[in-house]
Structure 1
């Protein structure tokens, strides 16, 4: 059981959206968890997995794309061209330019 940093309620680890890992001195690791409810209230974004690509990527309901690397989330750079936003995702070793609008329609669904 882990504890949310905001509401201080203990929940299972899979009930959390995002977390941070801090390497402390002498090899200690400190993890900070934020539950799904507090994340939605505080940050306003709901994250949905992008399935079918090599990286572990997620897209938010606001159009942000992030990637999970080494237990940390990194934002994927968006390319803007004539009012259309694109991100580069990798599939089968090839880099592909994907439009954010259709990605949101495909993966951002309420479950």
Structure 2
């Protein structure tokens, strides 16, 4: 049983909506879980698909990027030292580092 980061309620791992994975020292991995109710309450984001890349990703109106893998969403947003957010996306097998703000301007549009 895993615990939601916000509400501290224990649930099965499959019941969580969004994950974040952080590599730690000595090969350890720390996972963060957010249940669907907390995700909608805390973030209240609108999600827009990111097209033209190999991954199946979505970007929110607040600048969070999530990737869909095995029917689970993973947070793949990275924050640099100067508060600059970026994400690594793959196109035609080539990995690229993309800044979040231009992605938001390009994909977060009301249609």
For normalisation by structure 1, the TM-score amounts to 0.61
What TM-score does the superposition give when structure 2 sets the normalisation length? 0.61
Higher relative contact order (CA 8 A, sep 6+): 2
Tell me what 1:73 maps to: 73
Structure 1 unaligned blocks of 5 or more: 1-19, 23-33
Where in structure 1 do 4 or more consecutive aligned residues deviate above 6 Å?
38-41
Q: Distance in 1 between matches of 2:84 and 2:14?
A: 34
Q: Give 1:106 shift.
A: 0.2
C-alpha RMSD of matched pairs (Å): 2.5
1:8-61 deviations in Å (ceiling 9; x for gaps): xxxxxxxxxxxx955xxxxxxxxxxx7xxx999734100000000000000000
How many residues were matched structurally? 78
